[in-house]
Amino acid sequence: MKKRIGVLLSGRGSNFEALADSVASGRIPDAESAIVISNREGAPGLERAKSRGISTRAIPSKGLERETYDRQVVAVLNEHKVDLVCLAGYMRLLSPFFVSSFPNRILNIHPSLLPSFPGLESQRQALEYGVKFAGCTVHFVDENLDAGPIVLQSVVPVKDDDTEDTLSARILQEEHKIYSEAVRIVLEGRYKIEGRRVMRIT
């Protein structure tokens, strides 16, 4: 049976598209894109999903308590029999209820080399700090911000003439590569977790 991927997003959805492309081309084998959910009705990522014929759902979060909202999202993910949840620019913390509904089955992509620069505007944080290398991280998700065990990271150089835009673009290219690779590793079960360490089994 194909593994079913559910994507949560709040914005443009380029990481979602990279995953959908990898599913369609077989780079992520034996998988299908089951549902894309957004907490923002106008998220461009929803349109991108629709144009690919993938089911979408906007579930507005405004005014709802965190767990009340998450129960709605988890219900839709279960309705669509999702095996793996991929956060792709999803601008919300998950409740313990959500996390325990998909144990070791939620991934996130973050545009920094965690644990450096968690939270918002990581690329700007990296530039302002003056690091010479930046990058991105795919990690398992827990209830804390950008905090779970790391599956993959990729490093890019920071150039003297970089702006937030040029650095973000260089990192984004790597995000699109490592997110698909991490999803493949997790869906194939080719890993074990010891403490915080995610180790590949080849």
Tell me the C-alpha distance between 94 and 143, whole Å.
6
* Helix, strand, coil tally for the chain in percent (to 5): 35, 25, 40
Binding mask 81-120 for ligand GRF (x = CB under 6 A): -------xx-------------------xxx---------
12 binds ligand GRF (CB under 6 A): yes
Query: Where in 148-187 is the site for ligand GRF (CB under 6 A)?
Result: 172, 175
Determine the interface stretch with ligand GRF among 10-18, 54-62, 68-76, 150-158 (rule: CB under 6 A). Answer: 10-18
Query: Where in 21-50 is the site for ligand GRF (CB under 6 A)?
Result: 45
Q: Which of 8, 15, 48, 183 binds ligand GRF (CB under 6 A)?
A: 15
Closest approach of ligand GRF to the CB of residue 141, in Å: 11
- Catalytic: 110? yes
- Per-position b or e across 120-139, b if 16+ CB within 10 A of its CB: eebbebbbeeeeeebbbbbb
Which residue number is nearest to ligand GRF in terms of Cβ?
Answer: 89
Strands (E), the chain: 3-9, 31-38, 56-58, 84-87, 106-110, 133-140, 150-157, 191-194, 197-200
Tell me the C-alpha distance between 89 and 110, whole Å.
8
Q: Which residues are catalytic?
A: 110
Summarize as ranges the residues that interact with ligand GRF (CB under 6 A): 9, 11-15, 45, 88-89, 109-111, 172, 175
